[in-house]
């Protein structure tokens, strides 16, 4: 796993990584207690999204970055949405991420 971008504040943890030959983004929202993993098919710079999150009070970071990947898995309290990626893949990703982030 190669870390490409990393952003973190009190609420969000957002990374873009190269993993298993593909580019993924991972977003954890501590306030909403959700986490998401998405496979990016086109390169996306997450910096503008993060900067808008920091500057604009009403900007919804998850709403915007989760539109980027076509395939994703989203987990919240008691709910999972597998949209092309599985919960099992999310768990494997998190274990690999612990080693680099």
Write a three-state SS string for 48-67: HHHHHHHHCCCCCHHHHHCC
Whole-angstrom distance, CA of residue 39 vs CA of residue 17: 10
pTM: 0.94
| Other beta carbons less than 10 A from residue 3's beta carbon | 13
CB atoms closer than 10 angstroms to residue 26: 20
pLDDT tens track, the chain, 101 positions:
999 999 999 999 999 999 999 999 999 999 999 999 999 999 899 999 999 999 999 999 999 999 999 999 999 998 999 999 999 999 999 999 998 87
Comparing C-alpha atoms, which of 32, 26, 29 is closest to residue 9?
Answer: 29
DSSP state of 100: H
């Amino acid at each position: 796993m190669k870390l490409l971008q990393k952003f973190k504040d009190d609420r969000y943890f957002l990374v873009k990584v190269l993993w298993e030959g593909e580019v993924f983004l991972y977003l954890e929202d501590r306030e909403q207690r959700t986490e998401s993993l998405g496979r990016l098919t086109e390169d996306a710079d997450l910096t503008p999204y993060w900067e808008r999150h920091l500057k604009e009070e009403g900007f919804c970071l998850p709403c915007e970055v989760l539109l980027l990947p076509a395939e994703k898995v989203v987990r919240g309290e008691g709910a999972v949405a597998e949209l092309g990626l599985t919960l099992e893949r999310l768990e494997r990703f998190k274990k690999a991420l612990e080693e680099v982030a």
